[in-house]
A and B are shown apart, each in its own frame.
Chain A
Amino acid sequence: MILTTIDHIPGAEIGEHYGMVTGSTVRAKHVFTDFMSGLKNIFGGEMGGYTALLEETRQQSIDRMVQQAEKLGANAVLNIRFATSDIAQGAAEIYVYGTAVKVR
C-alpha cells in the first residue's frame, strides 16, 4: 500500500478510483501520563507521553484507512489529509482521509 499526500504517484498510472477512504480513532489519556503532564505544566518542556500517544493514535487511524482501502481492492491512497479535534475532556479524535486508487 502506497500512501502519499500528493495527487498522483510519479511514474505510475492510475487505473481505477474507489472514492474516499477514512480512518478515525478516539483515544483518552492515561491517568499516569496525565499526572506526569500535570508536573510538566510547572516545569515546561516536551510531554513525551502525549507525543507517543498521539503518534500511536495516528498510526491506528492510518491502519484503519488502509484496511478499508484494501477491502476495496486498492493499492494506494492519495491526497491524504489529517484532522485532530478534542471532542471531550481528555479525549481526542484523530481522523485521516484520502482517495483510494489502483495504480499500475
Chain B
Amino acid sequence: MEAIIQLITIAVLIAIGYFTGKHYEDTHFKSIKEREAALVNLPALTMPLKDVLRQQANQKAIERAELVMGNIVISPDYFKIFVGGLVSLFGGGLPVFESVVDRARRESVLRLKEKAMLVFGHVDMIVNLRIETSRIGGNSNEAISSVEAFAYGTAIKLKDAVHP
C-alpha cells in the first residue's frame, strides 16, 4: 500500500513538474527572445578590445571601459530531473538539460547588457566577454542541483562625438 502511495506521489510530482516547468520555460524563452531582439545593436564579443578596434576607431575615442556582470541560477523541474535520472542509466543526449543551461547562459548575458545600459546610459559594445557555468548543490540529501551562469566582460562607451 505504502509503495503505491509513493509511486502515485512521484507520478503527481512528475506531472506537476512537467506542466509548471514547461510553462516557466516557454515564458522565459519568449522573454529572452524579445529582450535579445531589443539589444541586438549591442554586440557582445569574446575578443579583447585591441582586436575589435584595430580598424574601427582610435582608442582615444573611448570614454569609459569598465567591468560589468550578470548572473542567474536556474533549477530544472522534477520532470527533467526524473528524465535525467532515467537517461543517465543508459547514457545518451539530454536535451531536457540542454535547454536549462541555454536559458541560463543567454539570460546571464542579457542581464549583463541590461545592467551595463542602466549604469552607463549607453554602451557601444561588450568586449572580452566570459561566461562561467557552475553547479549549485541542491538539497543536502539529494544530488539534485541547479545551474548558475555568470557572464562578465568590459563595457565600452565611445565618446559622443563618435556617434552618428
Does A30 reach chain B (CB closer than 8 Å)? no
Q: Which chain B residues border A85 with CB–CB below 8 Å?
A: 134
B74 and A45 within 8 A (CB): yes
Partner of A3, one of B66, B78, B130: B66
Known A3-B66, A38-B138, A42-B17; contact A47-B74, beta-carbon cutoff 8 A:
yes
Tell whether A45 pairs with B24 under 8 Å between CB atoms, given A11-B60, A84-B148, A86-B136. yes
The answer to whether the Cβ of B94 comes within 8 Å of any Cβ in the partner chain is: no
> How far is the CB of B50 from the nearest CB of chain A, in Å?
8
**Chain B CB within 8 A of A55 CB:** yes
- CB of B136 within 8 A of CB of A82, answer no
User: When A10-B49, A82-B150 are in contact, do A41 and B144 touch as well, CB less than 8 Å?
Assistant: yes
Residue among B48, B76, B134, B150 making CB contact with A86, cutoff 8 Å: B134
- 1/0 per residue, CB under 8 A from A, across B91-104: the answer is 00000000000000
* With contact pairs A41-B76, A43-B77, A44-B17 given, residues A58 and B69 touching in the complex (Cβ less than 8 Å): yes
Alpha-carbon gap, A99 to B104, bound state (A): 29
Chain B positions 136-160 with a Cβ under 8 Å from a chain A Cβ: 136-140, 144, 146, 148, 150, 152-154, 156
Binding site for A on B (CB under 8 A): 13, 16-17, 20-21, 24-25, 28, 48-50, 59-60, 62, 65-67, 69, 71-78, 80-81, 127-128, 130, 132, 134-140, 144, 146, 148, 150, 152-154, 156
